[in-house]
Chain A
Amino acid sequence: MKALRNYLDKIKPHFQKGGRFEVFHSTFDAFETFLFVPNTVTTKGSHIRDSLDLKRTMSIVIIALMPAMLFGMWNVGYQHALSIGASWSFLETFWYGFLKVLPLIVVSYGVGLSIEFAFAQSRGHEVNEGFLVSGLLIPLIMPVDVPLWMLAIAVAFAVIIGKEVFGGTGYNVFNPALLARAFLFFAYPSHMSGDKVWIAGLTQGQGVVDGFSGATPLAKAAAYQIDQMPSVYDMFMGFIPGSVGETSTLAILIGAAILIITGIGSWKIMVSVFGGGLAAGLLFNAFAVNPYMEIPAWQHLIMGGFAFGAVFMATDPVSASQTEKGKWMYGFLVGFLALLVRVLNPAYPEGMMLAILLMNAFAPLIDYYVVEANIRRRMKRAKKVANV
């Protein structure tokens, strides 16, 4: 530790202004602060500061994503084994999925962080930790068989157009991870939907057992094949085809618990998204005219990417509503719209992505009205005094 510190102190001057490697200043800084919390002290304002910083905030989100990621890896192997009719041991299953998912993560981080570092350097900023989360979220919301080059383009699009053009982390309007998915969804729809993309190997035409279908519960529901849908237990546990990390509601709920207990994720948004979804579901139940609308409202919450979106996507503090009252409205509308898109629009089996992106666009409007209400209260108070 001490030796490492000494070594860093020795090479640090080369990366500072006037040094040989000044170009890599931000890069050096990112690695240094990764290894050591810097020794900067307070100079003005409060002399003491909370121990929480963005690095820890983001790390906790990553920890919260771990159950979903690990389960996703196992499920990739499990679904593949089902599709080829093999019976694999737990380790074999996990290892297969691990090898499938790891490249996605590597590409996502590689491409995204390179761009982040380059922008931080050109702006003279420190590298923001925001992409550490986005970089893991992106692979988890992709079909496992997405070609790596496509993933790379999507990540680049999300980081550059979704974030950096606005000024970087903290200034973006849309959730970058969802933007990456939306980009692929509209640019390469054949690779992002259908019955084959969700299970590793199917698109390459690897052997399929008779009667096996790789369709997700959402696809089956949209096709009114309600009787063919997996059991509630399977959907809740996540033994179903789907994007890498989104299938297991249980794993996602463990992540949600971590986020809520540490206070990092907004429980208000999570609760209100589920509330909004439930409300829409009940409404459909009440006016059901087709089998999809008859699905019990609560079942929607464990299908597709609903839970994952509610816990990890809608709660992104930058693109969500920024006022506490706004968060309730924002979350509710995300949940409500997700079901609306899902059930009423057959072209988009997964409504969560579009619902969140749409509400990202409206979040500032919600905040505007919440803050205006506060301003009006203040004006009213002033008027009351003036009239006395």
Chain B
Amino acid sequence: MSKPIKIKRGLNIPLKGSAEKVLVRLDKAETYGVKPTDFPGLVPKLNVAVGDKVRAGSPLFHDKYRPNIVFSSPVSGEVVDVRRGERRVILEVVVKADSGEVAYEDFGSSSPQMLTRDEVVAKLLKAGAWPYIKQRPFGIIANPADSPKSIFISCFDTSPLAPDLDFAVQGEEESFQAGVDVLRKLTPGKVHLGLSADFPPAKAFANAKGVEQHYFTGPHPAGNVGVHIHHIDPINKGEVVWVVNPLDVIIIGRLFLKGIYDATRVIALAGSEVLKPRYYKLISGASIESIIKDNVNTQNQVRIISGNALTGTRVDKLGYLGYYDNMVTVIPEGNKYEFFGWIAPGVNKHSASSAFLSKLIPGKRFTLDTNMHGGHRAMVVTGQYEKVMPMDLYPMQLIKAILANDIDRMEQLGIYEVVEEDMALCEYVCPSKTEVQAILRKGIEIMIKELS
């Protein structure tokens, strides 16, 4: 093991309700959904209409501007609904699952080593597994025409209540290795695995061949792939790095081993409002209802989040698990007033600062709700963001450059190196309640437009 890279700046948010290491195999949900909104910047075009029969791996919709990028149905069944939002934007394509076994499209099993790069790309595109590969900068679906300088897989998650990925990949060693072999075809550079130095990593990660393992230790965001890239092979202007979640690597591996698009994955259901937080094995895109069932506290109003509490997407009971998400978080809504809350000693309040009594209780876990804990203000306090940003860049200056719409400055200050999740903690700690992630996405969109 090489010397671990120490991440010093950051913050672990100790939420209550982390998932117990019990794996529950979930029955097939009634409906599954694929959400174009999971892919920033995507303009979807439908391939199917309501009433069409599909198999697992049949395309549901594609990217209007890159039509070879398709998004597949995770199960076999019938398209029952296309939910639309304002201005008829497609929000969800809903598939009602057949009873019985899932019927798969057959893409043919093949060893990636025997294929050319073009054949590998074609297969990924055709099966709808391509969108699992994201690119940095910008955190959007990778462009098949690009040749990335390297590919990164972060094999541990440090976000609040995050699932233990070592637990989630157990028994998938073969598929993971196959997925890694596929990715090795895609880059002339290296495939890097980011591993936690604090726990012995799962066999799938530790024994993976043809990759370079790097060990990290420290608080969140030490597990963010953006942080790994920054420390190992930072992105300069014009360079492209691809990233894939380890659970998605497994799905890619299965496509080549078995020739099918099998989006089965292990996710965690966690949060203070979950009665029995644990792990579930299910098919990606499952309805939230099928996951939370009777396992959520009904006394309080709750917020269900597909993903973690810092970066996840708000969903309701009728919604669906996000495309990339490996957890569902349920926390209380915070829509109540608090009498003189700003001066209360705050034994139960979490803060990165030491302005609350809770700091004196080490190891305390918190029930955090969705309250803003204050009104929006101009940026006043400085140095707060830097404490939770383990990269050599100036987060507040970058945010200000975006607000000022200064493209040169954004580029100089390193907008290519960050996506929302890397700056989510800045948003968490901001005493002025600045919407850092939304601002950053706006900046990224400006850059994409500028460069196209």
Contacts and interface: CB of A to CB of B under 8 A. Distances in A.
Interface stretch (B83-91, B167-175, B190-198, B422-430): B422-430
A324 B382 CA distance: 9
B375 A126 contact: yes
Contact of A38 (B355, B372, B383): B372
A45 B439 CA distance: 10
B431 A47 contact: no
B380 A169 contact: yes
A48 B331 contact: yes
B428 A170 contact: no
A49 interface: yes
Contacts of B340: 35-37
A374 interface: yes
A48 B309 contact: yes
Identify which of A39, A49, A170, A371 gathers the most chain B CB atoms within 10 Å of its CB: A49
B350 A51 contact: yes
A44 interface: yes
B324 to A, nearest CB: 17
Contacts of A44: 435, 437-438
Nearest to A384: B236
A255 B321 CA distance: 50
Given A33-B375, A46-B309, A262 B354 contact: yes
A261 interface: yes
B41 interface: no
Nearest to A382: B236
Contacts of B354: 261-263
Contacts of B200: none
Contacts of B370: 41-42, 47-48
Interface stretch (B64-72, B214-222, B390-398): B390-398
Identify which of A1, A48, A54, A128 gathers the most chain B CB atoms within 10 Å of its CB: A48
B380 A1 contact: no
A20 interface: no
Interface string A43-82: 0111111111111110110000000000000000000000
Contact of A317 (B338, B381, B420, B433): B381
A385 interface: yes
Interface size class of B (residues with CB under 8 A): 35 or more
Given A1-B339, A46-B311, A46-B428, A37 B383 contact: no
A167 B372 CA distance: 24
B342 A39 contact: no
B309 A47 contact: yes
B333 interface: yes
B98 interface: no
B239 A323 contact: no
Contacts of B437: 44-46
B379 interface: yes
Nearest to B338: A37
B333 to A, nearest CB: 6
A327 B381 CA distance: 13
A35 B310 contact: no
B378 interface: yes
Interface in A124-159: 126, 128-130
B413 A371 contact: yes
Nearest to A55: B342
A317 B379 CA distance: 10
B199 interface: no
A377 B377 CA distance: 32
A105 interface: no
B234 interface: yes
Given A47-B305, A377-B392, A57 B431 contact: yes
A53 B378 contact: no
A371 B397 contact: yes
A42 B160 CA distance: 17
A37 B436 contact: no
Given A57-B381, A263-B355, A381-B234, A50 B371 contact: no
Contacts of A53: 342, 373-375, 377, 431-433
B428 A48 contact: yes
Nearest to B334: A41
B438 A385 contact: no
B401 to A, nearest CB: 10
A224 to B, nearest CB: 41
B346 interface: yes
Interface string A360-387: 0000000000010011011101100110
A41 B371 contact: yes
Contacts of B329: 47
B303 interface: yes
Interface in A286-330: 317-318, 320, 322-324, 327
A47 B427 CA distance: 10
Given A317-B380, A375-B413, 19 more contacts: A39-B371, A41-B370, A46-B427, A47-B310, A47-B312, A48-B331, A48-B369, A49-B372, A54-B432, A56-B431, A57-B381, A128-B377, A171-B378, A264-B353, A323-B386, A374-B414, A375-B412, A378-B412, A386-B236
22 contacts: A45-B438, A46-B309, A46-B310, A47-B303, A47-B310, A49-B371, A51-B346, A51-B373, A52-B373, A52-B374, A53-B374, A54-B432, A56-B355, A57-B380, A130-B380, A170-B377, A262-B354, A317-B382, A317-B383, A323-B382, A381-B234, A385-B236
Interface of A: 1, 4-5, 33, 35-42, 44-57, 59-60, 126, 128-130, 167-171, 261-264, 266, 317-318, 320, 322-324, 327, 371, 374-375, 377-379, 381-382, 385-386
Interface of B: 13, 15, 160, 234, 236-237, 239, 303, 305, 309-312, 314, 329, 331, 333-343, 346, 349-356, 368-383, 386, 392-394, 396-397, 412-414, 420, 424, 427-433, 435-438
